[in-house]
Amino acid sequence: MNTCGDGGASSCVVSSIPLIVGLLLLVVLALLAWRFYLARSEAGASAPKPVGKPAPAPKPAAKPDAKPAAPATPAPAPKPAPPAEPKAPPKPSPLLVKFSDPPDLKLSHFKGDTRIQNDFADLMTSTILSSQGWKQLPSRYHRDRGIGGLFLREVRGGGGYECLAVESASNGTNYDPASMADTKLAADIAQLYELGAFPKQTAEELMRGLHQGSSFFRKELWRHDLSSGLTTISELGRKGEKGRSLTRSNARLMAALYLSLTSFDRDAVYLGQAPLEGE
């Protein structure tokens, strides 16, 4: 059934125009939307991909302990901290002192008396020989008469004794060989026996040793240098002549002996000065 009628064809066409325009607009919009979609797709495909390090793989989760502690078990008590060690004391060190080793003794230390100085030399000889096992016998029957020193020492494995007659001198004191000749010593031994210094049997054995020679009766000269502390020991022959010699240092012993004597000689009768004492 034609609703437009014969005369309404033109009006029917006119009424259809809006519909046709609307359809055309929809088609245009659809094309624009499709074009926009294609443009976005092409832009995403042509953009460069960012270069970077690959993400690290996730670490596997730690496995729980196979046998977890029972909830009822108490946690162990923490160990107490060890006590702090005490600081070590400073390491000991030697004493930094200076002193003169030689005794440096002069005649003035002995009141300027040569006899006192020689007596000190005799004491030095007796001290050294006593430390070596010698026993001193009485040897002087007057200050200037007799033997400087007469000593005996047991012979190891020999079944007897040996004798040593010594003349001591100090610094520049002169030595007279006649004072240590065999004839002089024999007369001194006889005089000492008559004065009761030792028994007859000892005197006879001393005489026998003197006549035998130097095997068990030796004679020596000991010269002590009181300035340097050196001691020179010389062998003596039958007539008191000097033979071989050797020198040893007794500086510290000499200094110690002098200091000991200064304490003993408090009034400085023999030595040069009184010992140091507090008030």
Which residues, 6 or more positions from 239, have their beta carbon under 8 angstroms from its beta carbon?
177, 178, 181, 182
pLDDT band at 272 (very low <50, low <70, confident <90, very high): confident
Greatest mean pLDDT range, 15-29, 30-44, 129-143: 129-143
pLDDT confidence of residue 1: 45
Q: Closest Cα to residue 133, out of 115, 147, 152, 158?
A: 152
Point out the least confidently predicted range of 24-33, 115-124, 237-246: 24-33
Report how many helices (DSSP H) and strands (DSSP E) the chain contains, helices first: 5, 8
pLDDT band at 25 (very low <50, low <70, confident <90, very high): confident
pLDDT confidence of residue 213: 92
Q: How far apart are CA 22 and CA 29, in angstroms?
A: 11
DSSP 3-state of 191? helix
Q: How far apart are CA 229 and CA 105, in angstroms?
A: 9
pLDDT confidence of residue 125: 98
Beta pairing partners, 234:
221, 245
- Report the first-to-last Cα separation within the chain, whole angstroms: 165
pLDDT(53) > 60: no
pLDDT(276) > 70: no
Identify residue 240 by its one-letter amino acid code. G
Q: How far apart are CA 229 and CA 101, in angstroms?
A: 9
Beta pairing partners, 247:
232
Q: Which residue has the tokens 């440096």?
A: 104
Q: Which residue has the tokens 């005197």?
A: 203
pLDDT(163) > 90: yes
pLDDT confidence of residue 52: 53
Bigger pLDDT: 261 or 44?
261
What percentage of the chain carries pLDDT values higher than 70?
Answer: 81
pLDDT(177) > 60: yes
pLDDT tens for 72-82 read 666 777 788 78
pLDDT confidence of residue 234: 98
Kindly list the distances between the CA atom of residue 139 and the CA atoms of 16, 122, 152, 196, 216, in Å, as whole numbers in the listed order: 175, 12, 12, 11, 18
Q: How far apart are CA 126 and CA 262, in angstroms?
A: 18
Q: How far apart are CA 257 and CA 170, in angstroms?
A: 15
Q: How far apart are CA 229 and CA 252, in angstroms?
A: 7
DSSP 3-state of 105? coil
Which CATH number is 107-264 given?
A: 3.40.1350.10
pLDDT(50) > 70: no
DSSP 3-state of 237? coil
CA 275 to chain centre: 36
Bigger pLDDT: 277 or 226?
226
pLDDT confidence of residue 33: 81
pLDDT confidence of residue 161: 96
Q: How far apart are CA 254 and CA 230, in angstroms?
A: 9
Sort 134 into a burial class: Cβ within 10 Å, 0-12 / 13-18 / 19+. Answer: buried
Average pLDDT, the chain: 85
